[in-house]
């Protein structure tokens, strides 16, 4: 099966014009066919007004999620947490599904949620849509992303799609998401994009803590952190956090640690995703030995004023790691 297909959609909707949503919409504005329009909505009206002013006639202001749905055959959502997603899809007055006659089997709508939320909420929204809207009038997918704000700006984010590799909509989903991202991975079925994203962030979060602890102990024993990073890279501990996002300042080029942990993936988002992953593990009966300790660590770092709002690898600072090591260690 071909992995791409022509994108014939002339009216696309996007709800949630925040840190991720805004650059994703801008990429769509640059890359969609010239006759396509994007209808956008956010509860923060200013974000909508600014973006519409930047792309007149291409990006148009909508007044609610329902208004976006009325005007669009494909609707993407990029919202903070489960309650926001629930409101946008299910609010009986203004939600996407609030007016079932907008949905017809003759021109089914594609609904795609890229927010990182829990799998149970996604499945319950899907169930609700299935019971409220006419049969065959829509398809609803989870499509969370990884790669952060820089990835959203440079269209290098990865999309984890909640569908099978044989899904008939996969070519269209791939074409659409490729305008905003680089790697598009179908994860097997409904809510499995989210399950993949949460397990990925659990792993990445645990590695960041382990890397911070290991660097801290090695440095306290007297080893230069650059040597430590080379040792891990050469040995069985090799990992992307150590190589590309090393939590110790001045060890690896491009790491947020080098500029006061600014940029990167906010520790508050890691706390949220880590908590969702722990919940999912509990729901599916997967035993975790590091879950509770990891969650406590990210909760602590999120509430610590030295770490708040910074890249999640600031966990090294939270654990008491030496940041001003140059001239003190390994020379």
Known catalytic residues are 197
d(CA 313, CA 263): 11
Contact 143, 112 (CB under 8 A): yes
Give the dihedral sign, CA 191/195/201/202: positive
3-state DSSP call for residue 59? strand
Contact 273, 198 (CB under 8 A): yes
Looking up tokens 């795609």, which residue turns up?
112
The nearer residue to ligand NAD, 168 or 309, going by C-beta atoms, is 309
The nearer residue to ligand NAD, 108 or 263, going by C-beta atoms, is 263
The nearer residue to ligand NAD, 42 or 167, going by C-beta atoms, is 42
Q: Which residues contact 154 (CB under 8 A, 6 or more apart)?
A: none
* 38-46, 203-211, 219-227, 237-245 -> range binding ligand NAD (CB under 6 A): 38-46
Smallest separation, CB 149 to ligand NAD (Å) = 5
d(CA 181, CA 174): 10
For 184, the enclosing helix (H) or strand (E) is: strand 181-186
User: Which of 9, 12, 17, 190 forms a contact with ligand NAD (CB under 6 A)?
Assistant: 17
Instruction: For the segment 73-92, give every residue that binds ligand NAD (CB under 6 A).
Output: 78-80, 84, 87-88
Residues forming beta bridges with residue 3, ordered by sequence position = none
- If one asks whether residue 145 binds ligand NAD (CB under 6 A), the answer comes out as yes
* 9-17, 177-185, 226-234, 250-258 -> range binding ligand NAD (CB under 6 A): 9-17
- If one asks whether residue 18 binds ligand NAD (CB under 6 A), the answer comes out as yes
User: Which of 28, 161, 180, 269 forms a contact with ligand NAD (CB under 6 A)?
Assistant: 269
d(CA 12, CA 17): 14
User: Which of 9, 12, 13, 15 forms a contact with ligand NAD (CB under 6 A)?
Assistant: 15
d(CA 157, CA 165): 19
- If one asks whether residue 20 binds ligand NAD (CB under 6 A), the answer comes out as yes
- If one asks whether residue 115 binds ligand NAD (CB under 6 A), the answer comes out as yes
Interacting residues with ligand NAD (CB under 6 A): 15-21, 41-44, 47, 78-80, 84, 87-88, 115-116, 145-146, 148-149, 265, 269
């Amino acid at each position: 099966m071909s992995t791409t297909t022509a994108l014939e959609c002339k009216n696309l909707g996007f709800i949630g014009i925040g840190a991720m949503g805004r650059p994703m919409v801008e990429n769509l504005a640059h890359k969609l066919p010239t006759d396509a329009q994007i209808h956008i909505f956010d509860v923060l009206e200013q974000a909508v007004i600014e973006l519409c002013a930047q792309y007149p006639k291409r990006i148009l202001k909508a007044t609610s999620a329902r208004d976006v749905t009325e005007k669009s055959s494909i609707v993407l959502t990029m919202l903070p947490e489960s309650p926001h997603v629930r409101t946008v899809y299910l609010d009986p007055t203004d939600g996407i599904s609030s007016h079932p006659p907008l949905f017809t089997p003759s021109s089914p709508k594609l609904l795609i949620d890229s927010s990182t939320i829990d799998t149970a909420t996604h499945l319950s929204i899907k169930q609700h849509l299935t019971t409220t809207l006419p049969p065959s009038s829509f398809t609803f997918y989870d499509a969370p992303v990884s790669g952060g704000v820089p990835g959203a700006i440079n269209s290098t984010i990865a999309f984890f799609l909640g569908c099978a590799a044989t899904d008939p909509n996969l070519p269209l989903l791939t074409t659409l998401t490729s305008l905003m991202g680089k790697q598009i991975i179908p994860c097997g079925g409904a809510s499995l994009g989210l399950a993949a994203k949460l397990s990925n962030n659990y792993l990445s979060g645990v590695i960041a803590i382990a890397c911070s602890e290991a660097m801290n102990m090695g440095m306290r024993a007297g080893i230069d952190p650059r040597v430590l990073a080379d040792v891990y890279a050469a040995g069985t501990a090799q990992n992307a956090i150590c190589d590309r996002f090393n939590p110790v300042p001045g060890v690896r080029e491009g790491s947020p640690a080098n500029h006061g942990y600014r940029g990167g993936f906010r520790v508050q988002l890691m706390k949220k995703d880590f908590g969702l992953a722990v919940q999912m593990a509990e729901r599916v009966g997967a035993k975790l030995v590091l879950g509770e300790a990891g969650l406590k660590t990210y909760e602590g770092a999120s509430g610590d004023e030295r770490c708040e709002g910074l890249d999640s690898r600031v966990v090294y600072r939270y654990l008491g790691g030496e940041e001003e090591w140059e001239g003190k260690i390994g020379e």
